[in-house]
Amino acid sequence: MAQRKSPPRRRPAAAPRPRDAEQTRSEILHAARVLFATRGYANAGMREIAAAAGITPALVVRYFGSKRDLFIAAIESDIGLGPFLGPDRATVGRHIARYFFSKPMREADTLSILLHAAGEPEVCDLATELLAARVIQPLARWLGPPRAEARAALLLAIISGTWLFRQALPMRAFTGGPDTALASCMAAQIQHVVDGLPEA
Amino acid sequence: MAQRKSPPRRRPAAAPRPRDAEQTRSEILHAARVLFATRGYANAGMREIAAAAGITPALVVRYFGSKRDLFIAAIESDIGLGPFLGPDRATVGRHIARYFFSKPMREADTLSILLHAAGEPEVCDLATELLAARVIQPLARWLGPPRAEARAALLLAIISGTWLFRQALPMRAFTGGPDTALASCMAAQIQHVVDGLPEA
DNA sequence: GCTAGAAGTCAACAGCCGTTTACAAAAAAG
DNA sequence: CTTTTTTGTAAACGGCTGTTGACTTCTAGC
């Protein structure tokens, strides 16, 4: 019905994918990030990733070597907490909370990928080291004394916990937008840690 | 070398497991809880669970029906936040923090099992509903206004985030005991939420 | 136009998965 | 003692996994 003339002997139907290696590579990476973030390492299959990128699983291997190497490439991207670590310390809580509650859920962000790596025997150590080096350390340096590392760890725990329940265990209490009570509570909470956290 | 007389024709070596159905069942359940908590649903195999319980995978199926039913049985146990929700609101933060930082890591607790269910297509909904019904709701009822549900969600996020990094992504900053700076920071943080959390 | 190599597809591999079936042995019932 | 039921094992099933090698097909260089 679509094509009338020209017997389609060697053209199955659709255009057979433009041969652009660079774009294909980035499409694979994007598909991998989406699936690693939503389903986790074990549940994201190579065939599934390849299908999402519109290609064949063999090609994924040719571009990235193995599933583990693909995962490594997928987390070689910034976590995104850096932009908040500026000189303005008074409103950073509100900014971070607004950022995380405005993000569309089920997005392919690095934090989700890393959180999903928990307990995966193949990639757990990778994720742990990356979080320590790229999040905890810069955050602690930015926070400064007292108890910089503990406060940085606590901040990461708050953000990760909230994000985990928004993304992967989507309970009703976490699914709202940036103007909900939870978002403002989270903002206050983060600000409280940034401001120094008086003794309990 | 061990046995001298009596040709061991029909006794391979060790005693062939005492036939106690009730104990076998509870051993399977314990092994399943340990492996679900440490490796997650997808990475905990039936053969692995059976081996940890000292039996055959077929027997696991006979006792519990399927892997999913085994998981359901494994989370049919209290989360353990209930004991803290008593009349003493002034020190609950310290008590919860001390409890979680005193627990041995890699223990087979229900919270770890549920957090590991994030993104698992087969059991994610189950875990979400259970956390909402057994944690968020009683916690919100105990906290009371203002913004009870948001504060309950935030508390769950703080505890879950900290516990996740202690158990499954064991970074150095989280691996200490109950007398570390992080534990006292967490106690202060929890107490701050319990006390009402002033506006940001 | 011809050729070399890049880009992509296809089918198959070995290995693991949850589950099932068939069977052995111990205990209990008669 | 014989029979039945319970408790356990052994082996296999189909299906899915990551990965491989042989094979097309398009494109760039001479």
Nearest 5 degrees, angle CA A69-CA B121-CA B32?
90
The answer to whether residue A121 is domain-embedded is: yes
Q: How many residues in chain A?
A: 200
B72-81 pLDDT, tens digit per residue, is 999 998 887 8
Final residue of a domain: which of B47, B74, B101? B74
The answer to whether residue B15 is domain-embedded is: no
CA B56 – C1' D11 distance (Å)?
A: 12
The answer to whether residue A66 is domain-embedded is: yes
Q: Are residues A133 and A187 in the same domain?
A: yes
d(C-alpha B46, C-alpha B55), whole Å: 11
Q: Is B85 on the interface with A (CB under 8 A)?
A: no
Q: Are residues B68 and B136 in the same domain?
A: no
Q: Are residues B155 and B91 in the same domain?
A: yes
Q: Give the range of the structural domain holding residue A33, as residue numbers without chain letter.
A: 21-75
Count of domains in chain A? 2
Final residue of a domain: which of A31, A59, A75? A75
Q: Are residues B94 and B130 in the same domain?
A: yes
Contact status, residue B128 vs residue A162, Cβ threshold 8 Å? no
pLDDT of B192 higher than 90: yes
The answer to whether residue A105 is domain-embedded is: yes
Q: Which of B178, B181, B193 is nearest to A145 (CA)?
A: B181
The answer to whether residue B1 is domain-embedded is: no
B117-142 pLDDT, tens digit per residue, is 998 999 999 999 999 999 999 999 99
- In chain C, which nucleotides are within 7 Å of a protein Cβ? 6-11, 16-22, 25-27
Nearest 5 degrees, angle CA B111-CA B183-CA B149?
50
Q: Is B154 on the interface with A (CB under 8 A)?
A: yes
Name residues 51-80 of chain A within 8 A of B (Cβ).
none
Q: Which residue in chain B is spatially nearest to A156 when comparing CA positions? A: B161
Contact status, residue B109 vs residue B37, Cβ threshold 8 Å? yes
Question: Considering CB atoms only, which of A117, A182, A198 is closest to B150?
Answer: A182
Q: Are residues B176 and B92 in the same domain?
A: yes
The DSSP annotation for chain A comes to ----SS--SS--SS------HHHHHHHHHHHHHHHHHHH-TTTS-HHHHHHHHTS-HHHHHHHHSSHHHHHHHHH-S--S-GGG-SS--SSHHHHHHHHHHHSPTT---HHHHHHHTTT-TTTHHHHHHHHIIIIIHHHHHHH-SSSHHHHHHHHHHHHHHHHHHHHTS--GGG---TTSHHHHHHHHHHHHHHTT----
Q: Which of B90, B115, B119 is nearest to B191 (CA)?
A: B90
pLDDT given for residue A108 in this prediction:
78
The answer to whether residue B16 is domain-embedded is: no
d(C-alpha B75, C-alpha A24), whole Å: 43
Kindly give the residue spans of alpha helices, DSSP state H, lying in B9-147.
21-39, 46-53, 57-64, 67-74, 92-102, 110-116, 124-131, 137-143
A41-68 pLDDT, tens digit per residue, is 999 999 999 999 999 999 999 999 999 9
Q: Which residue in chain A is spatially nearest to B137 when comparing CA positions? A: A173
A158-181 pLDDT, tens digit per residue, is 999 999 999 999 999 999 999 999
Q: Are residues A188 and A91 in the same domain?
A: yes
**Cross-chain residue pair A136–B171, CB shorter than 8 Å:** yes
Percent of chain A clearing pLDDT 90 (strictly above)? 80
Nucleotide closest to B25 measured between CA and C1' = D7
pLDDT-derived band at A16, boundaries 50, 70, 90:
low
Question: Considering CB atoms only, which of B39, B131, B193 is closest to A121?
Answer: B39
pLDDT given for residue B14 in this prediction:
53
Q: Which residues of chain B have a CB within 8 Å of the CB of A42?
A: 40, 42-43
- Tell the burial category of A57 from Cβ atoms under 10 Å away from its Cβ (0-12, 13-18, 19+): middle
d(C-alpha A73, C-alpha A174), whole Å: 30
Name residues 88-147 of chain B within 8 A of A (Cβ).
93-94, 114-121, 124, 127-128, 131-132, 136, 147
The answer to whether residue B9 is domain-embedded is: no
> Taking CB atoms and an 8 Å cut-off, how many pairs form between chains A and B?
196
Q: Are residues A167 and A190 in the same domain?
A: yes
The answer to whether residue B160 is domain-embedded is: yes
d(C-alpha A185, C-alpha B68), whole Å: 36
A95-138 pLDDT, tens digit per residue, is 999 999 999 887 879 999 999 999 899 999 999 999 999 999 99
**Cross-chain residue pair B124–A168, CB shorter than 8 Å:** yes
Which helix (H) or strand (E) element contains residue A116?
helix A110-116
Q: Are residues A49 and A129 in the same domain?
A: no
Q: Are residues A88 and A114 in the same domain?
A: yes
CATH number of domain containing A41: 1.10.10.60
